[in-house]
């Protein structure tokens, strides 16, 4: 827990140096520059307090990331407008400061005034501060939304807020020092009035939701470097942190709990209320790409499918889901695909849109980049399906591939319960089935010790290293040959002549590949030492390398050029 608190502190500080805090910076600097020297401290303490309330308590009340909506946001905007007016009118400022200054004896004992008024402004900023949510912040809000706040959740939230506030305090003190020099050369209350205008403009812009639109634009802009938008991404997404974040979630209510019968005449148990979609990003296949809610879908049977577009297990289920949607959507079935990424490039909305088109998905899909909805469901699998009845209760789950006839039967039963009549015969659409003799498991090419099984000279070392390869790989053994640069997600050739060697037992071999700048590059595949296929890599997706009639053992060599990154082998 101590390590997670330390990482939360670092993540909060990292967030404060990103463009995501730009909407609140003008108000922070303006409020911190006015009044006494204690005001910046009051502002930051107020911000940390209400920010923590927003990401813990309000998330539970609104069942979502309660950072930028609702009555608390409206109240915060009114406070900013009020303090802006106070700075514009010196006589009004004196009247407001007089009663607040009497409270100074309860605050810090340093000289100066403005601590309590700063606390009010900071409290308002905490409710409208909506930084880009990384995994730690997303986990806190989603767990609070789905299961309530625990002491551990509150501790992580406080650590995150402390890191964020510490950097913001430095901003406020630096801005105050700079503006103090301007004050010495300025005439009259010109500076205070200018600061008041800044606060008023900030409040007006936030009232028009322009700060929220700015956040959304940042989230969708793929041209900005990742270290600028999310400097602590690699830290927060490490397996060490992900494991500790997973421990914050209670056991899944849909797996561990004892089901109760919903209807004596029904064969399906009642597994409890379905969580709302939480912390999501871009929606696809909805009118004007507008968000959907489970509350708005009440009365329909809903199938929530967690997937990611390079997961072969997910891809094999898509023909079945497409068939379900085509057959039963007219009778009241709605499918929602929740695209929760495994790799960073799967967060790109354009990549997801391309995958939706390529796979022929007609049902709505939403990006869950920060695992908000994944955590709300306490999900652990790709793919995972949660079937929800017309009352909003989860009635059937399916984790992984298989049991398609049972899943269709559950859909039909819930549709009949919802009032559907004359359902068509069971559909003929079937999922893709892996080969019966499949023996080689999924294999990652990264520096994570948890993924080291099957790798020769494992685990792979982070950074650039030379790998000797292996003359005759054993069954299910994989080896790098040549110079490779390895990180937490992939391996990339650092010089010409790099290759991946393996021996597998399967009918089909797939590899997740990306090409820098989406430039077309050629990957050469050799089977049993002979040229088999040349794969043109441009987009960031899963590529088929080998397609055979039946599963068998073969030696595989994949010659990878510079500029192409290899992530994950899967088999079928």
- Residue 140 · residue 161 · CB < 8 Å: no
| 425 vs 566: CA distance, rounded Å | 44
Helix or strand holding residue 46 (H, E): helix 39-53
Asked if residue 383 has a cis previous peptide bond (ω within 30° of 0), the answer is yes
Helix or strand holding residue 552 (H, E): strand 541-559
Does residue 378 come out as left (phi exceeding 0), alpha (psi in the -120 to 50 range) or beta?
left
Question: Mean pLDDT throughout 511-523?
Answer: 93
Helix or strand holding residue 239 (H, E): helix 239-248
Give the range among 20-29, 434-443, 468-477, 510-519 with minimum mean pLDDT: 20-29
- The whole-number pLDDT of residue 49 equals 79
Model confidence band, residue 565 (pLDDT cutoffs 50, 70, 90): very high
- The whole-number pLDDT of residue 331 equals 94
Q: Which two tokens stand for residue 290?
A: 């507008």
pLDDT > 90? residue 77: no
Question: Mean pLDDT throughout 365-379?
Answer: 88
Model confidence band, residue 500 (pLDDT cutoffs 50, 70, 90): very high
Dihedral over Cα of 153, 216, 312, 511: its sign: negative
Dihedral over Cα of 397, 401, 404, 406: its sign: negative
For residue 230, give Cα distances in angstroms to 77, 127, 219, 283: 27, 21, 10, 22
Q: Are strands 521-527 and 491-493 parallel, antiparallel or unpaired?
A: unpaired
pLDDT > 90? residue 285: yes
Give the range among 261-275, 459-473, 547-561 with minimum mean pLDDT: 261-275
Q: Which two tokens stand for residue 144?
A: 């609070």
Q: Name the residue with higher pLDDT: 291 or 343.
A: 291
- The whole-number pLDDT of residue 106 equals 40
| Nearest to 412, CA basis, from 397, 394, 424, 400 | 424
pLDDT, tens digit (0-9, with 9 covering 90-100), for 353-365: 999 998 899 999 9
Which residues of the chain does CATH 3.40.30.10 include?
251-417
- Residue 525 · residue 554 · CB < 8 Å: no
Q: Which two tokens stand for residue 437?
A: 């003799």
| 132 vs 292: CA distance, rounded Å | 22
Residue written as token pair 């900030």: 202
- The whole-number pLDDT of residue 283 equals 95
Model confidence band, residue 294 (pLDDT cutoffs 50, 70, 90): very high
Model confidence band, residue 410 (pLDDT cutoffs 50, 70, 90): very high
DSSP H stretches of helix in 301-369: 312-328, 349-358
Q: Name the residue with higher pLDDT: 264 or 213.
A: 213
- The whole-number pLDDT of residue 105 equals 43
Question: Mean pLDDT throughout 439-461?
Answer: 81
- The whole-number pLDDT of residue 258 equals 46
The percentage of the chain sitting over the pLDDT mark of 90, rounded to a whole number, equals 33
For residue 569, give Cα distances in angstroms to 311, 490, 508, 545: 10, 11, 11, 10
Question: Mean pLDDT throughout 407-411?
Answer: 93
| 85 vs 91: CA distance, rounded Å | 11
The percentage of the chain sitting over the pLDDT mark of 70, rounded to a whole number, equals 69
Question: Mean pLDDT throughout 277-304?
Answer: 92
Q: Please state the pTM of the whole predicted model.
A: 0.57
- The whole-number pLDDT of residue 28 equals 73
Q: Which CATH superfamily is domain 251-417 in?
A: Glutaredoxin (3.40.30.10)
- The whole-number pLDDT of residue 61 equals 44
Q: Name the residue with higher pLDDT: 461 or 240.
A: 461
* CATH, domain 443-571, list 3.40.50.620, 1.10.10.60, 3.40.640.10, 2.60.120.260: 2.60.120.260
pLDDT, tens digit (0-9, with 9 covering 90-100), for 126-173: 666 655 555 556 555 555 555 555 677 777 777 878 888 888 888 778
Reading across the β-sheet that carries 301-307, which strands appear in turn?
283-284, 365-367, 333-339, 301-307, 384-388, 394-399
Which residues of the chain does CATH 2.60.120.260 include?
443-571
Question: DSSP letter string over 426-457?
Answer: PP--------TT--PPPEE-SS-GGG-TTBTT
| 191 vs 185: CA distance, rounded Å | 10
**401: buried, middle or exposed (CB in 10 Å: 19+, 13-18, 0-12)?**
middle
Question: DSSP letter string over 75-129?
Answer: HHHHHHHHHHHHHH-HHHHHHHHHHHHGGGGGS--SS-S-HHHHHHHHHHHHHH-
Question: Mean pLDDT throughout 363-384?
Answer: 88
Residue written as token pair 């306490």: 378
- The whole-number pLDDT of residue 169 equals 82
Question: Mean pLDDT throughout 329-334?
Answer: 95
């Amino acid at each position: 827990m101590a390590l997670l608190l330390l990482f939360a502190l670092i993540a909060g500080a990292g967030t404060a140096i990103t463009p995501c805090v730009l909407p609140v910076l003008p108000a922070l600097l303006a409020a911190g520059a006015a009044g006494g020297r204690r005001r910046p401290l009051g502002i930051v303490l107020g911000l940390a307090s209400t920010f923590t309330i927003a990401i813990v308590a309000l998330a539970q009340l609104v069942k979502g990331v309660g950072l930028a909506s609702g009555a608390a946001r409206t109240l915060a905007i009114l406070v900013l407008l009020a303090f802006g007016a106070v700075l514009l009118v010196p006589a009004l400022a004196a009247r407001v400061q007089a009663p607040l200054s009497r409270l100074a004896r309860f605050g810090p004992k340093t000289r100066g005034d403005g601590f309590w008024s700063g606390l009010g402004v900071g409290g308002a900023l905490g409710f409208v501060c909506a930084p880009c949510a990384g995994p730690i912040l997303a986990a806190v809000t989603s767990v609070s939304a789905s299961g309530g706040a625990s002491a551990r959740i509150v501790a992580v939230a406080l650590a995150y807020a402390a890191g964020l506030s510490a950097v913001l305090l430095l901003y406020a003190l630096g801005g105050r020092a700079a503006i103090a020099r301007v004050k010495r050369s300025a005439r009259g209350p010109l500076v205070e009035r200018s600061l008041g205008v800044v606060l008023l403009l900030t409040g007006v812009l936030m009232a028009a939701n322009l700060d929220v639109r700015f956040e959304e634009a940042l989230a969708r802009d793929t041209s900005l470097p990742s270290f600028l938008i999310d400097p602590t991404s690699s830290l927060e997404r490490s397996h060490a942190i992900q494991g500790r974040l997973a421990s914050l979630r209670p056991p899944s209510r849909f797996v561990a709990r004892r089901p109760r019968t919903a209807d004596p005449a029904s064969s399906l148990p009642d597994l409890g209320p379905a969580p709302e979609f939480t912390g999501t990003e871009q929606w696809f296949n909805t009118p004007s790409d507008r968000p959907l809610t489970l509350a708005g879908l009440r009365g329909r049977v809903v199938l929530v499918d967690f997937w990611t577009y390079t997961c072969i297990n997910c891809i094999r289920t898509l023909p079945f889901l497409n068939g379900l949607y085509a057959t039963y959507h007219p009778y009241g079935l709605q499918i929602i695909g929740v695209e929760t990424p495994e790799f960073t490039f799967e967060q790109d909305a354009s990549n997801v849109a391309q995958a939706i088109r390529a796979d022929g998905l007609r049902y709505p899909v939403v990006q869950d980049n920060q695992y908000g909805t994944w955590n709300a469901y306490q999900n652990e699998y790709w793919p995972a399906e949660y079937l929800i009845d017309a009352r909003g209760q989860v009635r059937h789950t399916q984790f992984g591939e298989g049991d398609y006839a049972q899943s269709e039967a559950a859909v039909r039963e819930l549709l009949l319960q919802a009032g559907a009549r004359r359902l068509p015969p069971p559909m003929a659409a079937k999922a893709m089935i892996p080969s019966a003799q499949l023996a080689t498991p999924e294999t990652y090419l990264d520096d994570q010790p948890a993924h080291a099984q099957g790798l020769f000279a494992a685990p792979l070392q982070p950074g650039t290293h030379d790998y000797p390869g292996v003359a005759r790989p054993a069954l299910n053994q994989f080896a790098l040959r040549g110079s490779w640069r390895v990180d937490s997600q992939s391996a990339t050739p650092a010089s010409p002549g790099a290759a991946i060697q393996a021996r597998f037992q399967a009918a089909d071999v797939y590899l997740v590949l990306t090409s820098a700048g989406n430039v077309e590059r050629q990957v050469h595949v050799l089977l049993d030492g002979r040229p088999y296929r040349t794969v043109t890599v441009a987009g960031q997706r899963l590529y088929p390398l080998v397609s055979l009639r039946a599963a068998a053992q073969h030696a595989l060599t994949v010659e990878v050029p510079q500029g192409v990154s290899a992530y994950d082998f899967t088999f079928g």
